[in-house]
Structure 1
Amino acid sequence: MRSLSLLLFTFLCTCVPAQTIAQTVDTLMEYTAPSATITAYGNEPGIGTAAPVALLQQEELTRYDKSSLLSGLNRVPGVRFEERATASYRIAIRGASLRAPFGVRNTQVYWNGIPFGEPGGDVPLSFLDAVNTDRVQIIKGPSGGFYGPGTAGTLLMNTESIHQEGLFKLAPRYANASITTGSYGFLRADATIQRTKEAGTYNQFRIGYQRTDGYRDHSGMDRLTLQYTSTFRGQKSGAKTALHALYTKLDYELPGGLNPEQYADNPRQARPGSADKNASIHYHNLLLGLTDERSLGSWKLESALYTTGFYFDHPFNFDYKREANLGAGGRFALRRLLRDDLALALGVESRLQYRNGQNFTNPDGTRPGDLNFSDEIFSRQGLAFGQLTYTPGAWDFHLGLSSSQLDYSVDRTFSAEGVTGETEFTANRPVSVRLAAGRTFDFGYLYLSRTDGFSPPTLDEFRTNEGGLNVDLDPEIGTNYEVGFSTSVAGKFFPSISVFHFALDEAITSFSDDRGTQLFRNAGKTRQQGIELAASWRAISTTDKAIGLSFYTSYTYYNFTYLELERGGTDFSGQDIPGAVPHTLNVEVGIDLRNGLRLDLFHNYTDAIPLNDANDVFADSFHLLRAKLSYPFKSFNVFVAGANLLDQRMSFGNDLNPQFGRRYFQPAPGRNWQVGMSWTAAPKR
């Protein structure tokens, strides 16, 4: 499969004819970046969002590393993108990773407007390669149900068209390709081809391939993604319809967590037994989505329909899991301007899923052994939402209401213990509220908000790997209070600050049994308070000087504690929540010359992180230093990049509250390098 992927990539890169040097230079100079407009909550351009929303364009997402979105998302204050093992991603937005021993949970994700993830909130973010995302809007904290149930945040991820007014003044065809190699057997290649017929109508194909042997023993990864997008815009009606297809083949090994002694002795080793039992994950996934935007009289309708299916094969250290999944759903939103200063949005969203899951013994990691249990699972999530936005003068006021419900139905058709039958589970929130107000001043924008959060258990939390069904697991319910301010000074300096207080009831936390199986329980009440700062400064521009200089910095302070937590006769009230980083600081410096040579430097300081409820085990603080030097040459751009240049012993994601074995640590790579190049061509008509 690896050879076939590389052959396909090579074919795509060579089948598009190149253009002359002069045409290439002119084309790249005319290229216009996509709009930086914030569209969260469906707001119209120019209307304040009154919410903590961050926008990342493609340049920020892939500035240092295209292997994942880690370096891009982690520059945003309040966001911690974690990678416990290669392609094993977690996202902690404003909080601990209590609920996410693996995967992305409690965070709603939409890809090109399509709900991306399972009804309960499990999000397979590893199905997306960096080539599948050009733009991300991050809503931090609960959204009041506007984007589905959740208390952590929302990611709005988009693949963009190549800007029509730029490249396609010369030609209707566009091609881009890149290849990168690096430490630990890293190899990455991607390509994008687009053919535009007329404004808003185009066909686009993207391919991404990535592999690595991994820093640790038994930590290799191999992923292929194929994406096809076709859009059509009606010349008279202005309606825009798009078809999206995404196929992912993903294989990666799980080295497992290390105890403190193993971590100190050799951080590159795998957990004993992981290689022998071939602990690994293997996916085939297909997503088909149809989105549509059109006017219906005075209303604007935005709709998205999707269907998805995946096959999952997963040997564990102690058992073997196989699943087949079919899903479907949709989201419909109606918007109307009632008058010049009053806008209404109404909508519904539904996600359905059928899963056939089987759990076996794992004799040697090559194939399943005896069947332990088999389940047929139906999951259903429903959401209704509405929003009223009032904009008198410089003010904007927002009222949002939503109602959501989640249902699981598990039919255990076989159990080695002889216990079969059906189990039902329902979690609902009749009303969630979002109240927000913003005011635009000559010197900046100020907002205040109060937002409800509701997060039911995901399927993997309700139905755990060892076969347990957590019928007594309660959903999380919380309320977030926030004030934020942003401004612009002379069009060059852009600072922002937000302060929040989040009170959460029935927080869901993770722990592991003596086998390492992840289990879940409610932890009572938590208090989560924080300050987030960010500022960018374009000090010198190459349009004025021979050298350009830019700066970016962000800082996060968190005070996250248990208000009420008692377990096993021990009172943990007042303790810090494990997984939450008290202090995080990012500093970026960009230096560029008129000839195109550019140097980017990035420094991240991450404070020591408590890893258990008792706060007696910590991950040490670390300084992460990255650098990238790039230079354009004809139609190419070549670069060399380095990460963890100080060779710090660190982890991008740890395991929390292991019940036995003290396997807390998932070491990240030491000092490592990448070198690569990209190529762009826009052929003549």
Structure 2
Amino acid sequence: MRFIMVAFLLAYTLQTYSQESQQDTITRLKGVVVYDDAIQKNQAIGTVASGVIGAAVFQNYSPLDAVAAINQISGVYILSGALNTNRITIRGVGARTLYGTDKLRLYYNEIPITNGTGSSSIEAYDLENLNSVTVIKGPKGTAFGANLGGAILLTAKQYQEERTLLTNSFTVGSYNLIKNNVAFSHTQEDFTLGITYGHTETDGYRENSDFNRDGFLLNSTYTIDAKNKVSLLVNYIDYTAQIASSISKSDFDTAPQKAAFTWGEAQGYEANKYSLLGVSYTHQFTPNLKNTTSLFYTYLDHYEPRPFNILDEFTNGYGFRTRFMGSFGFLKYSGNYTIGTELYQDEYNWKTFENLYQDTDGNGSLQGDRISNNKEYRSQLNTFGTVTLPFSKKFTAQLGLAINNTKYNYRDLFNSGAANKNARKSFSAIVLPSVNLNYDFSEKYAMYGNISRGFSNPNIEETLTPEGVINPDIAQETGINYELGSVLFFDANRLKIDLAFYQMNIKNLLVAQRIGNDEFIGKNAGSTQHKGVEVEMNYQLPLGRKVKAIPFLGYTYNHHKFKEFLDAEHTYSGNWLTGVPKNKINVGLQLKHTNGLFWNTTQQYVGEIPMDDANTLYSDAFSVVNSKIGFAKHFGAHFSATVNIGVRNIFNAKYAQSVLINAVGFGGAEPRYYYPGNNRNYYGGLQLRYVL
């Protein structure tokens, strides 16, 4: 916490020195720090109060550390067990998911990349290929699924200036880290092309945690004429990541580098091949009406030897998304609307095999006999519309409505019996309204409010009974979100403060109760109440004519509890929600000099996290400080170079970067709750840019 005081005391102490350059205008650079623009009327988002980070924020961190960059956003916390093991929570939603991310919707250039049950894998996408990450908190994103957790919109790098550019970014670091990213872009009046290839490899901090990834991205747009434009997106990722898994309290205290014993013996890992192909066409019918329609295909090939079995799966996904956006006269002002639909279907195929690693004399996993063979067809249809009505220059209302229809069709291809051959589950169409109100008291002060309804689908474990058939009693989670916020500017607009209060009441709480190594029972076990406060501040302070200082602060207070929760003979009503820290603070200070020198230091504080529903076990609170310094230099009009070095976890804090909630020890073993965070580690990079 000392760094928090230092950053802001430094900023205000130096303000006296900065008075000499008051005439030097400092614009509010949205890409420099996290911002939560409560008053933007962005049709692409169709909502208010969205946390956004841009490429300039990514550059403040290691290119391998997308988690730390996104964790700057208040209300968002990513529990990261490894580069390939991330669980994103937004306002507490998704915290009870045992592995991975669900209950939100993930988009890449507005193409959905969340699978048919709502699971997402943000780790499949390279930070260096992104232009921005937008986080819609809660279900108010009518045009993006209205999920209880919200939505995350990834935007690939965009090229505005008419030029041809070749860039190579090379990074080395601790744990034998090597990362190289080479990018070519060409932009002219009617055509843009960006091609990127990236390679990453590292041994990792822990045993059995090697990571190796190759990725290719093509992003292109062709403007046919003034009314027509077509875009192509191709993204391919191939990565193999060993799995150290979670460890017990004893191992966490004495040997955090260790892998879980059985995972180490089996040399467990996952091998993934992700493909995304999307084609978008935009037509401007009139100056007040345009349409964008996208067709897309996704493919995942996943192979994962685990100690208890070997999982071999692949998923084919496809669909389309179309959206009409227009404007119209309303009273004396101009309103706007959007209406569209999105269809996503996928075919999920998975098999499991015996893992005979105990018979290989320490050589790792060996595939044995098949023990299951399954197929599931999944379909989601989202229809949505919003209308924005400006009643005056100061007061605007936005009304939204989304309708979701989800269907599952499960088939057991291994076991006999009619019940296993074709089991269907179709949820009733769910109506999801949203109301956003915004009032601008002045150019320096605005308030907004939101009431919205959201939902979450059960994941694959929750849809099936232990016998492997569709659970007919499982229902979707639903909830109502209430939100009130404001944005304020002070000191000639240099100081910006965003403040949000919210309450989200969720019923039909989905619970995946673990009964074995790979066996779960899904059920609706009660309700939760999520209340919280989010504050973000950034202060852009000129220190003379050549130096800018930008201190920033993000604070999250989570008051999330089980309202009603009955699990077997236990009652957990009134307990704190599992997997959510009550307090999270991100604070940082950026310095930039006109000669190209830059420095960024950040601190993240995470409070203790309840690890079991009974609230008898908590992880320890922790604080991690990171710093990066660099220098950029232009050599003539065509060539530039940037060199940087960075340190993560400067004070070598010992902490759990992720926890596994409600862990169970099998065969008398100690439960494995902890994913240790990395110790102090270093990296350095060189980026070369050449304008042809």
* TM above 0.5: yes
Question: What is the match of residue 482 of structure 2?
Answer: 481
Q: Using the alignment, how far apart are the partners of 1:621 and 1:39 within structure 2?
A: 26
8 Å CA contact 1:325–1:355 kept in 2: the answer is yes
**AA aligned opposite 1:374:** N
- SS of residue paired to 2:391: coil
Provide, for residues 519-561 of structure 1, a one-character-per-residue CA deviation record: whole Å limited to 9, x for no partner. 54333111110000000001125xx434321100010111100
Moved more, 413-422 or 642-651: 413-422
Q: Using the alignment, how far apart are the partners of 2:44 and 2:277 within structure 1?
A: 33
Aligned residues: 642
8 Å CA contact 1:103–1:122 kept in 2: the answer is yes
Matches within 5 A, 1:142-221: 142-143=139-140, 145-164=142-161, 168=162, 172-196=163-187, 198-221=188-211
Question: What is the match of residue 67 of structure 1?
Answer: 64
8 Å CA contact 1:558–1:580 kept in 2: the answer is yes
Q: Using the alignment, how far apart are the partners of 2:410 and 2:216 within structure 1?
A: 33
Question: What is the match of residue 499 of structure 2?
Answer: 497
8 Å CA contact 1:372–1:416 kept in 2: the answer is no
- SS of residue paired to 2:662: coil
8 Å CA contact 2:38–2:50 kept in 1: the answer is no
8 Å CA contact 2:236–2:274 kept in 1: the answer is yes
Q: Using the alignment, how far apart are the partners of 1:554 and 1:41 within structure 2?
A: 15
- SS of residue paired to 2:550: strand
Asked whether 1:54 is paired with 2:51, we answer: yes
- SS of residue paired to 1:70: helix
8 Å CA contact 2:146–2:432 kept in 1: the answer is no
Change in 2 beyond 3 A, CA 1:36/1:578: closer
- SS of residue paired to 1:612: coil
**AA aligned opposite 1:174:** L
Q: Which ranges of structure 2 fall in alignment gaps of 5 or more residues?
A: 1-28, 358-363, 635-639
8 Å CA contact 1:131–1:207 kept in 2: the answer is no
Q: Using the alignment, how far apart are the partners of 1:39 and 1:336 within structure 2?
A: 25
Question: What's the offset of the Cα at 1:417?
Answer: 10
Matches within 5 A, 1:5-404: 51-95=48-92, 97-143=94-140, 145-164=142-161, 168=162, 172-196=163-187, 198-237=188-227, 239-297=228-286, 298-339=288-329, 340-364=333-357, 365-393=364-392, 394-404=394-404
**AA aligned opposite 2:527:** K
Q: Using the alignment, how far apart are the partners of 2:192 and 2:409 within structure 1?
A: 42
8 Å CA contact 1:144–1:402 kept in 2: the answer is no
Provide, for residues 579-622 of structure 1, a one-character-per-residue CA deviation record: whole Å limited to 9, x for no partner. 11101111101123332222211011111111110111111000
Q: Using the alignment, how far apart are the partners of 1:221 and 1:386 within structure 2?
A: 42
Question: What's the offset of the Cα at 1:53?
Answer: 0.8
Moved more, 546-555 or 669-678: 546-555
8 Å CA contact 1:145–1:454 kept in 2: the answer is no
8 Å CA contact 1:328–1:351 kept in 2: the answer is yes
8 Å CA contact 1:34–1:163 kept in 2: the answer is no
Asked whether 1:653 is paired with 2:658, we answer: yes
Question: What's the offset of the Cα at 1:160?
Answer: 2.8
Change in 2 beyond 3 A, CA 1:333/1:546: closer
Question: What is the match of residue 530 of structure 2?
Answer: 528
8 Å CA contact 2:31–2:55 kept in 1: the answer is no
8 Å CA contact 2:94–2:149 kept in 1: the answer is no
Question: What is the match of residue 549 of structure 2?
Answer: 549
8 Å CA contact 1:40–1:137 kept in 2: the answer is no
Q: Which ranges of structure 1 fall in alignment gaps of 5 or more residues?
A: 1-31
Question: What is the match of residue 601 of structure 1?
Answer: 601
Question: What is the match of residue 360 of structure 2?
Answer: none
Question: What is the match of residue 14 of structure 1?
Answer: none
Q: Using the alignment, how far apart are the partners of 2:606 and 2:208 within structure 1?
A: 27
Q: Using the alignment, how far apart are the partners of 2:45 and 2:354 within structure 1?
A: 55
Give the root-mean-square deviation of aligned CA atoms.
2.6
Question: What is the match of residue 19 of structure 1?
Answer: none
Change in 2 beyond 3 A, CA 1:627/1:301: same
TM-score, normalised by the number of residues in structure 2: 0.88
- SS of residue paired to 1:276: helix
Question: What is the match of residue 570 of structure 2?
Answer: 570
Question: What's the offset of the Cα at 1:411?
Answer: 1.1
- SS of residue paired to 1:605: strand
Question: What is the match of residue 25 of structure 2?
Answer: none
8 Å CA contact 1:43–1:49 kept in 2: the answer is no
Moved more, 519-528 or 462-471: 462-471
8 Å CA contact 1:98–1:508 kept in 2: the answer is no
8 Å CA contact 2:88–2:95 kept in 1: the answer is no
**AA aligned opposite 2:476:** P
Change in 2 beyond 3 A, CA 1:546/1:132: closer
8 Å CA contact 1:119–1:351 kept in 2: the answer is yes
- SS of residue paired to 2:73: coil
Change in 2 beyond 3 A, CA 1:207/1:637: same
Question: What's the offset of the Cα at 1:653?
Answer: 1.5
8 Å CA contact 1:371–1:416 kept in 2: the answer is no
8 Å CA contact 2:213–2:238 kept in 1: the answer is yes
Q: Using the alignment, how far apart are the partners of 1:192 and 1:327 within structure 2?
A: 28
8 Å CA contact 1:330–1:349 kept in 2: the answer is yes
Provide, for residues 367-397 of structure 1, a one-character-per-residue CA deviation record: whole Å limited to 9, x for no partner. 4211111112111111111111101221110
Change in 2 beyond 3 A, CA 1:593/1:45: same
8 Å CA contact 1:287–1:306 kept in 2: the answer is yes
Change in 2 beyond 3 A, CA 1:360/1:454: same
Question: What is the match of residue 540 of structure 2?
Answer: 538
Moved more, 351-360 or 459-468: 459-468
Change in 2 beyond 3 A, CA 1:265/1:421: same
8 Å CA contact 2:36–2:51 kept in 1: the answer is no
Question: What's the offset of the Cα at 1:507?
Answer: 1.7
Change in 2 beyond 3 A, CA 1:46/1:659: closer
8 Å CA contact 2:464–2:522 kept in 1: the answer is no
Question: What's the offset of the Cα at 1:465?
Answer: 9.8
Q: Using the alignment, how far apart are the partners of 1:493 and 1:549 within structure 2?
A: 12
Question: What's the offset of the Cα at 1:516?
Answer: 6.0
Q: Using the alignment, how far apart are the partners of 1:43 and 1:557 within structure 2?
A: 24
- SS of residue paired to 2:68: helix
Identity %: 21
8 Å CA contact 2:46–2:141 kept in 1: the answer is no
Q: Using the alignment, how far apart are the partners of 1:37 and 1:56 within structure 2?
A: 5
- SS of residue paired to 1:300: strand
Question: What is the match of residue 580 of structure 1?
Answer: 580
8 Å CA contact 2:314–2:348 kept in 1: the answer is yes
8 Å CA contact 1:89–1:126 kept in 2: the answer is yes
Question: What is the match of residue 8 of structure 1?
Answer: none
